A and B are shown apart, each in its own frame.
Chain A
Amino acid sequence: MSKITIIIGAAVLLAGGYYLGKSGQQPATVIKLDSEPKAAFTSSGAEEVASASASVVRSLVTPSSGELIVVRDGESIQDAVAAASPGAVIKVMPGTYKETVYIDKDNITLSGVIEQGRYPVLEGEGLRNDAVLYSGNGVTVENLYITHYKGNGVMGQAGNNFIIRNNYIVDTGVYGIFPQLGKNGIVSHNIVSGIEDAAIYVGMSDNVDVVFNQVFDSVAGIEIENSRHSLVESNFVYNNTGGILAFITPGLPIKSCGDVLIRNNFVVDNNHENFAIPGSLVSNIPAGTGVLVMACDDVVIEGNIITGNNSVGITFTDFSLAGNAANDPDSEPNPNRPKILNNIMQDNGKDPAPAVRAVLAAMLETTGPDIVDTVGMDDGCILNPERFRTIGLGKYTECEFSTTANVASYTLPEPVPARSMEDVDKGKLAYYGVCAGCHAYSSRMIGPPTQIIQALYMDNPEGIAEYAANPVKKREDYPSMPPQSHLDDETRLAAAKFMLKVTK
């Protein structure tokens, strides 16, 4: 089934290009010297990170309290996480650890200790789901060797300010590294291979840099999906089915993708047979795909070395590639405002995937192009188009800028703060959000009215907070109060203080 889908997907993919190729003409080579400098690159993300230009690039660090926990071979990493307080550094010694580690706390550093090339190994044995799951903010995961998990190597759910670096992830499930629904993060210096979807997958996230990674032998090398302000730079991406992808996947709750810089990467020989899971979007990618942009807007492709990809070097396309997925009326399908700056492209398209070859044959071509735009966007731009074999770029104009060097990183100059609590009264939220289930101001509910509690405790919110943590039955005519120790001390006290000042 997947093969058929691939063929259909590829046929649709190039069908638009076929039409446009027939009607387009290669531009003549024009020799000229620019008499004045081009404009600076601008984007909404560039403005957001502009103040960082003077400081250290990617200055993000996970705050540490000085607490150190050392995990040795034979011990449990999860036990260490359970014991850790926010700010702890957990050092994992070389050895083999057969577990899923989940981090639901903030500011935890999970750091492998590498001794003479020996890593701490997280071993999934083909049985366990994910190696590391995190949902806390400010989490670092580094220096781990992860292998044989069924799901993901490192997976984030909504953690902001994350750092995933220096990991070695081999033959592990669906995604190697998958931060999702987070803001401000770094994925760097990881070596990832043998992944049946994307080796590195940034999903529904903002302000993430994917830099200095080596990804190979996977279906997709690096995928940026439904994300904004992402920098993919200086990665070595080879022998995948598709090298670097920027996608909108239809049907997700966050529907936009844009402002993605794909810069200075090696995208080489991505000709691996497609071994994706049937039904997955990447099962549609023809082998031999270098860079593929589907529906993602304002993607800049600059300074990459894109060579030896046997179908197409760079592809811009719409949802017609995703023929096996339902449409999403709320997702905009076109790759708007594509921008192709100077790239080095050689040796692409020399042995197209069968479906691509079939479409090319109809155009009396046997070689795939360096660049194809299957939609034929009329708001794209390219520098030096005469250097490349292109299809569908007839309406592209010359880019008004020649470099994005003014954006050194899309990570933020300061960590994303926890939501500003200045205008949020934690005590009020706890009182109405929790206490009010049993206590109304003046009327009897399950518990006594707030007015009565106010009369009893007057200036003693600590008394309320203490009682609520360990209540004892006091009133014959009311049921026992369940303990509220699930609220931390600070929240309980804040709720008690608020309870004493409620007037209605």
Chain B
Amino acid sequence: MNPLYRHSGNTLHALLLVLGLALSMPSLSRATDIVLNENCPPGFELDAGQCRLRTLYQMYASLEDAGVGGLKTGLPPHRDGFTPQQIDLGRYLFFDPVLSVDGTVSCASCHDPDRGFADGRGRSVGVGGEPVRRSAPSLWNVAFLQRFFWDARAGSLEEQMQGPLYDEHEMATSPEQLVRTLNGIPLYRELFRQAWPQDFQADGAQIQLNQVYAAIAAFQLSLISLNSRYDQYAHGYADALTEPEKEGMNIFRSFVARCAECHTPPLFTNQQVAVIGTPDPEGMPFDPGAAVPLNEPTLRGGFKVPSLRNIALTAPYMHSGRFATLREAAAFYTGGRGHAVPPGEDLKIHWHIWEPKLSDEELDRLVDFLQTLTDESFKPVEPPELPSGIQPVHNAIAREGTTPDNGVSNHE
């Protein structure tokens, strides 16, 4: 696969889009006969027309229904209840670069299913080709999250997605362009009609922004990863983990390493904001994190505790990708309290950041254990063709991310 070749194709589409021509050229819209899936994605039962999450964890309770605990502990409250068609429509939108200002970036560009729904980059790259400030988080299991973005500034997926959609450095479109573009594609109008038939009974019914947001959210909420080898162990199968992995699990939940105090099972996050003092990449200014949106100075340098499910798939690590490997990320925690805080910064470092003096062998075992949290058994199928007729772009862009200069030189 030649990225440049794909890229030049995209440029053509982009140009046509900008000129308003793409929509009038049926030859570009090959995927003319899409019927949205009437079945729920794996992990969901169709119940009264809506897809409802089913998981073995629903056998368990959790203290105060908070969804934090140990092995056989229920999950945090989740969101579901979309129709199969709405979820499937969201899948098309998610992969479709037509959502960006020039047709060059899709949601999947930074949330690539082949990269743990992240992008393999320390800092993501949008339409401008310049790295943005922070790393793209994985989308696995967002159904259980209460807050979104590293700095916890959004309270719903619908609110969250308006960040990248309209940020000039990411997808850079506008609400007006988004609905105009989608309404200009007959196939999308047909698909939205399939997803919201009651809203499209009148002649000339238009695609609404909130439907776009809802469909994308519906798809994101279907990304469930709860069948890792760790989960098999949690449900009672002692042989699911090797001895080194069990050692790693015991280090993980020990009160020396204290990983589980914030990355608490079963979701492997307690969904709090924590100030741990990880460094930004060389040359980048200090990122104040959640202190800004939460208007709370003591949370300076604070970020949302990320889930560690599928963490082995989403290197590099931390909010701006400073650590290339899981081993480096784990070793940060034994480097000493505040050891990487820039001079002049007085942070309220979290009390669990201390000096556990983990040995090299213990760090290795932690990495062993973290790799048991991988499960992609419910990974969605990518649409072979998109309603816009544009070729998917996420593979090309993500592959380029493997070398430092890419993502800049190829996207002028």
Contacts and interface: CB of A to CB of B under 8 A. Distances in A.
Interface of A: 82, 100, 102, 104, 129-130, 133, 135-137, 150-152, 155-159, 173-175, 178, 181-183, 204-206, 249, 251-254, 256, 277-281, 324-329, 416, 418-419, 421, 424, 426, 428-434, 436-438, 440-443, 445, 485-488, 491, 504
A182 to B, nearest CB: 7
Contacts of B60: 418-419
Given A419-B60, A433-B54, A158 B66 contact: no
B238 to A, nearest CB: 7
User: Which of A100, A437, A438 has most chain B Cβ within 10 Å?
Assistant: A437
Contacts of A135: 70-72
Contacts of A251: 272-274, 350
A327 B273 CA distance: 10
Contacts of A426: 56, 59
B58 interface: yes
A369 to B, nearest CB: 28
B73 A252 contact: no
B213 interface: no
A202 to B, nearest CB: 12
Given A181-B73, A328-B272, A433-B58, 8 more contacts: A133-B250, A155-B254, A157-B260, A183-B63, A279-B351, A329-B294, A436-B42, A437-B377
Contacts of A486: 232, 235, 237, 239-240
B296 A104 contact: no
B353 to A, nearest CB: 7
A150 B74 CA distance: 30
Given A158-B63, A279-B354, A329-B294, A440 B302 contact: no
B69 A181 contact: yes
B349 interface: yes
A159 B73 CA distance: 9
Interface of B: 39, 42-46, 54-64, 66, 68-74, 226-227, 232-233, 235-240, 246, 250-251, 253-257, 260, 264-265, 270-275, 294, 296, 298-299, 302, 337, 348-351, 353-354, 356-357, 377-378
A279 B299 CA distance: 15
B351 A129 contact: no
A173 B43 contact: no
Contact of B299 (A183, A277, A327, A437): A327
Contact of B275 (A174, A254, A326, A428): A326
A437 B227 CA distance: 9
B151 to A, nearest CB: 13
User: Which of A135, A150, A205 has most chain B Cβ within 10 Å?
Assistant: A135
Q: Is the interface of B mostly helix, strand, loop or mixed?
A: loop
Contact of A428 (B54, B237, B253): B54
Given A183-B63, A251-B273, A280-B351, A129 B256 contact: yes
Contacts of B55: 429, 432-433
A257 to B, nearest CB: 12
Nearest to A1: B337
Nearest to B359: A127
B250 A254 contact: no
B256 A150 contact: yes
Given A206-B64, A429-B58, A325 B71 contact: no
A97 to B, nearest CB: 16
14 contacts: A104-B71, A129-B256, A157-B70, A158-B69, A251-B273, A254-B66, A279-B354, A325-B351, A429-B58, A429-B59, A433-B227, A437-B227, A485-B237, A491-B56
Given A204-B63, A252-B270, A151 B255 contact: yes
A428 B257 CA distance: 37
The 8 closest A-B pairs by CB, nearest first: A158-B69, A158-B70, A432-B54, A157-B70, A135-B70, A151-B255, A129-B254, A437-B377
A129 B251 contact: yes
A159 B70 contact: yes
Nearest to B65: A254
A436 B43 contact: yes
A325 B250 contact: no
A253 B270 contact: yes
A253 B271 contact: yes
A104 B70 CA distance: 9
A131 B375 CA distance: 31
Contact of A327 (B237, B260, B274, B298): B298
Contacts of A277: 354
Contacts of B349: 279
Nearest to A178: B255
Contact of A129 (B73, B257, B272, B298): B257
B348 A174 contact: no
Contact of A130 (B42, B232, B254, B351): B254
A436 B60 CA distance: 20
Contact of A254 (B45, B54, B64): B64
B56 A325 contact: no
A327 B296 contact: yes
A174 B255 CA distance: 7
B272 A253 contact: yes
B63 A205 contact: yes
A15 B378 CA distance: 57
Nearest to B258: A151
A325 B348 contact: yes
Contacts of A249: 351
A45 to B, nearest CB: 14
A485 to B, nearest CB: 7
Given A279-B349, A279-B353, A279-B354, A130 B58 contact: no
Nearest to A282: B351
Contacts of A252: 270, 272
Contacts of A419: 59-61, 74
A218 to B, nearest CB: 15
Nearest to A101: B250
User: Which of B45, B253, B255 has most chain A Cβ within 10 Å?
Assistant: B255
Contact of B63 (A182, A428, A433, A437): A182
Contact of B254 (A151, A326, A416, A441): A151
A251 B46 CA distance: 37
A137 B71 CA distance: 10
Given A253-B272, A434-B56, A488-B236, A129 B255 contact: yes
Contacts of A206: 63-64
Nearest to B260: A157
Contacts of A443: 39
Given A426-B59, A433-B227, A133 B253 contact: yes
A491 B56 CA distance: 10
Nearest to B224: A433
A253 B240 contact: no
A74 B241 CA distance: 26
A157 B237 contact: no
A324 B349 CA distance: 8
Contact of A253 (B68, B238, B253, B257): B68
A31 to B, nearest CB: 46
Contacts of B302: 326
B285 to A, nearest CB: 21
A183 B46 CA distance: 34
Contacts of A441: 39
Contacts of B227: 433-434, 437
Contacts of A329: 294, 296
Nearest to B290: A326
Nearest to A428: B54
Nearest to B338: A279
Contacts of B275: 326
A437 B353 contact: no
Contacts of B354: 277-280
Contacts of A434: 56, 227
User: Which of A433, A442, A443 has most chain B Cβ within 10 Å?
Assistant: A433
Contacts of B62: 158, 181
Nearest to A434: B227
A436 B227 CA distance: 11
Contacts of B351: 249, 279-281, 324-325
